[in-house]
Structure formats: structure tokens, C-alpha cells
Amino acid sequence: MRILLIYTGGTIGMVHDSDSGTFIPFDFENLQAQIPELKQLDCELEVHSYEPSIDSSNMHPKVWIQLAETIESAYDDYDGFVILHGSDTMAYTASALSFLLENLNKPVVLTGSQLPSGVPRTDAKENLITAIEIASSYRGGKPVVPEVCVYFEYQLYRGNRTHKVNAENFEAFASVNYPPLAEAGVHLKFNRTAVKSWREGSLIAHKNYNPNIGVLKLYPGISESIVKNTLNHPETEAVILETFGSGNAPTSPWFLKAIAEATARGLLVLNITQCVGGAVELGRYETSKSLKDFGVLSGQDMTFEAAVTKLMFVLAQTEDASERMALITTNLRGEMTL
């Protein structure tokens, strides 16, 4: 198996420099010298590093496009891809790539670490080795996990179902609304029923994102001016409405009027819950019935990261309002449970 390792940046690629006393990116040309266990893996490993490396806090849709292009250009030459990425925005990149890489039939595994690779107790070595092993796992000539996923601390998750839940623990990620694709113990145990099925079709790497979205997170006491400023921004084409519980929102007349006016003029409003787990059920309670009547769309059980990247993706595909609404409410890459 041939695996392409793509280094974008992040803690996983850092080592301690004794001269300066700081952590610096290590030379990936000497990767096997740093992690000799890689030689025991039954695969051929090649490395592509982004220069300069990118701190994940500076992640941008332009980099998502660049990653999609890198994978597209190397797609026929490799059996799987491992992307080393900072953990802070890893779930956004994983979600974005799931939408950009249509008809993906090879593993794309994102991983990183909470501690640099050059320190004691680091989680970098295990995460990297297992991510490569997952990317090179084939049965009957087909990949075991032909989709974009995140591997972190013994768990493999669907990329567009992940959320970073802890800034300090090694168990940094969770997928509350979808089961793990695999668990790494003494053996790799894949959850075959959860993994996307292999399907025929050539890879289509989309090259556009439209970032003209807004986010309106509700909270008790939110002001009319805050709501209107978010909904009425001239460049905003869609807004993520983060609501309470199963999709509930205030019933104040001014709030409902603002939502009604926004959707009437063509603004797409996508309702997702602030809860880590569960789904939006528009109309279940009186506090969400009006939103449904005004044409607010249900994000079901999508993560915030999936909602952001899906909206950016959909807005770039078409300018037709009805087509956009249809795409947003369609389960495109396993990002929501209908």
C-alpha cells in the first residue's frame, strides 16, 4: 500500500529545540528516524509538507481547497491519505473535505496530537501510527474505511460528525450522534455497519467555497439589535441559528418578525441545536413551530462544524434558492441522520 502523508501543521509535527528552548516543526524527510516504528508498517510512505506550516487557528477555506487539490492530483497514485492537522479546527477541515471530495472511495484520515512528538507521554506517535495503519487497511482489494475521518486517542470517527470537546485531555474529540467507525486496542476493530459503503464513481474534487454565512447563537436576553444586525448583514446569504434544546427559540414578537422578514427576502436560515447531542425537531414545541412556518430549515443532528462547512459548500454550488434548500436538507455525506 502507498500512503501519502500530508503535513499542514499543528502540535503533532513539533519537536523541542534544545538551542532555543522552544518547539519547532521537525523535518518530515527524517520522519522514520523520529518514529522508527513506521518501518514496521506494511506500506510505502511518502510525505508532502505545506510550507509554511499552518497553525490550525489560521485555517481557512482556501486551505481546504488546497487539500482537496492535493488529494485529487495524487488520488490515482496512492491507496490512502493521512493529514496531520492542528486539533483546534480539525473537525472543520474534516467536515469540509467530506463535502469537497465527492465520490471519495479511499481513506482520508486526519489526526494530530495534544502534545508535541518530541516530549515524554506524547500522544503523537500512537495517533500517527494508527492513522497510517487505518489508511492502509484494505480487504478484498477495497479500503475498509473509504471516507474522510478523524482518528484520535484510540477512536476513529466520521469526519463530519466530530467535535473537539476537550482542550487538555488526550480524548479530545467526540462523535455523540454517530458511533465510532473503529476502535484501536490490541487489534483494530472496525464497525462495518457505521462505515460508508464503497461505491462506483470517479472522484470529483470541488474547488469552491462561499464563506458568506453568519452565526446567530441564541441566549436568554439576546437583544433585538444583535439579532437584526446578524440577519440583515448585506453580504450574508445564510445564517446558522443555534437554538435551545430540540430547536426552540424565543416567541417574542420582535424576534419572530425578524426571522419572518429575513426568510421572506430569501435569507437561508439553518436551525441547529446548541446541545452536544440530539437533533432539531422543528414544530415539536410551540417555541419552534413558528420557525418552521417561516421556512427555517432543520439541521437535524449536524454538528456546528458540519453546518458551517456544508453551508459554505452549498452556497458555492448554485445561486438558485430552491436548489440550495434542497441540498442543505439532503444528507450529502453522512453528516446527519434523517
> What is the C-alpha to C-alpha distance for residues 95 and 150, in angstroms, rounded to an integer?
10
What pLDDT score does 27 carry? 64
CB of 317 closer than 8 Å to CB of 158: no
Q: Please give the distance of CA 33 from its chain centroid, rounded to a whole number.
A: 31
Say what percent of the chain tops pLDDT 70: 94
User: Do the domains 213-328 and 2-205 match in fold?
Assistant: yes
* Beta carbons within 10 angstroms of residue 55's beta carbon: 14
Active site residue 130: no
Q: What pLDDT sits at residue 197?
A: 86
Look at residue 32 and tell me whether its pLDDT is greater than 70: no
Query: Predicted confidence band at 24 (pLDDT cuts at 50, 70, 90)?
Result: low
CA 306, CA 299: separation in Å to the nearest integer?
10
Exactly one of 8, 11, 303, 309 is catalytic; which is it? 11
Q: Say if residue 19's pLDDT is above 90.
A: no
Ranking 32-41, 109-118, 216-225, 279-288 by mean pLDDT, the lowest is 32-41
For 82-126, write each residue's pLDDT tens digit. 999 999 999 999 999 999 999 999 999 999 998 877 678 888 889
Q: What's the average model confidence in pLDDT over 319-333?
A: 97
Task: Look at residue 119 in the predicted model and tell me its pLDDT.
Answer: 76
**Helices 304-317 and 90-100, packing angle to 10 deg:** 30
Question: Does the structure show a pLDDT above 70 at 228?
Answer: yes
Is the pLDDT confidence value at 232 over 70? yes
pLDDT of residue 287: 74
* Band of residue 26 on the pLDDT scale cut at 50, 70, 90: low
Q: List the Cα angle 318/323/329 in 5-degree steps.
A: 115
More confident of the two residues 302 and 36: 302
- pLDDT category of residue 139 using cuts at 50, 70 and 90: very high
pLDDT of residue 18: 66
**Bridge partner residues of 23 (DSSP):** 16
State residue 115's pLDDT score.
85
How many CB atoms within 10 Å of residue 253? 8
For position 51, what pLDDT does the model report? 84
pTM of the model: 0.94
Task: Report the pLDDT averaged over residues 125-151.
Answer: 95
Query: pLDDT higher for 178 or 283?
Result: 178
Region 213-328: CATH code: 3.40.50.40
Any idea where the domains of the chain sit in the sequence?
2-205, 213-328
Ranges of H-type helices in the chain: 31-34, 61-74, 90-100, 124-135, 224-231, 253-264, 286-293, 304-317, 321-328
- Reported CATH class of domain 2-205: alpha beta
Alpha-carbon distances, residue 255 vs 42, 114, 229, 270, 297 (angstroms): 59, 41, 12, 16, 17
Query: From CA 158, how far away is CA 135, in angstroms rounded?
Result: 13
Quickly state the pLDDT bin for 180 (edges 50, 70, 90): very high
Answer for the pair 215, 77: CB distance below 8 angstroms, yes or no.
no
Over residues 218-228, the mean pLDDT reads 97
List the single range of 54-58, 173-177, 183-187, 296-300 with lowest mean pLDDT. 54-58
Tell me, what's the pLDDT at 37? 83
Does residue 123 contact residue 87 with C-beta atoms inside 8 Å? no
Q: CA 19 → CA 15, 23, 53, distances in Å? A: 12, 10, 21
**What is the separation of C-alpha 179 from the centre of its chain, rounded to a whole number of angstroms?**
16
Q: Which residues contact 24 (CB under 8 A, 6 or more apart)?
A: 14, 15, 17
Greater pLDDT, 14 or 76: 76
